[in-house]
């Protein structure tokens, strides 16, 4: 691209457009990398859990409670525990702390 026939104002405007596009692409790359990392973390946690496992989990973000895994899905774990009003509740993988089974290794 030949810039000799461009004015300083045009070059500044072009630089601002290019800078904005670069910033947009970097933000998209960061968001994509974060989504990939989150997906890998969920997959790793899901591989460690199965139906019938005893787990500890966060209840109301302040108490650690225990329960039994009823179902594992892509985004949540269904847990049976007395602390839930219906006897079972859904927790995100980030809220499931540990597998408390004796034979889990």
Give the pLDDT score at 77: 86
- CA–CA distance from 57 to each of 9, 10, 69, 70 (Å)? 59, 59, 11, 14
Domain residue limits, the chain:
1-48, 50-99
How many angstroms separate the CA atoms of 84 and 95, rounded?
Answer: 15
Q: What angle do CA 77, 62, 70 make, to 5 degrees?
A: 20
pLDDT class for 1, splitting at 50, 70, 90? confident
Pick the CATH number of 50-99 from 1.10.1060, 1.10.760, 2.30.30, 1.10.357: 2.30.30
| β-strand pairing of 76-80 with 88-92 | antiparallel
Q: What is the pLDDT of residue 88?
A: 86
Give the pLDDT confidence of 10-38 residue by residue, as tens digits.
Answer: 999 999 999 999 999 999 999 999 989 88
pLDDT tens-digit profile of 55-99? 888 888 788 888 888 888 878 888 998 888 888 888 887 788 766
């Amino acid at each position: 691209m030949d810039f000799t026939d461009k004015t300083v104002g045009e070059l500044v405007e072009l630089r601002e457009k290019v800078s904005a596009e670069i910033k947009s692409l970097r933000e998209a790359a960061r968001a994509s990398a974060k989504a990939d990392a989150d997906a890998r973390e969920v997959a790793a946690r899901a591989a460690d859990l199965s139906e019938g496992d005893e787990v500890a989990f966060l209840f109301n973000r302040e108490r650690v409670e225990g329960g039994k895994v009823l179902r594992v899905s892509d985004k949540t774990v269904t847990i049976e525990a007395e602390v839930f009003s219906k006897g079972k509740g859904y927790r995100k993988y980030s809220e499931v702390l540990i597998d408390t089974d004796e034979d889990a290794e």
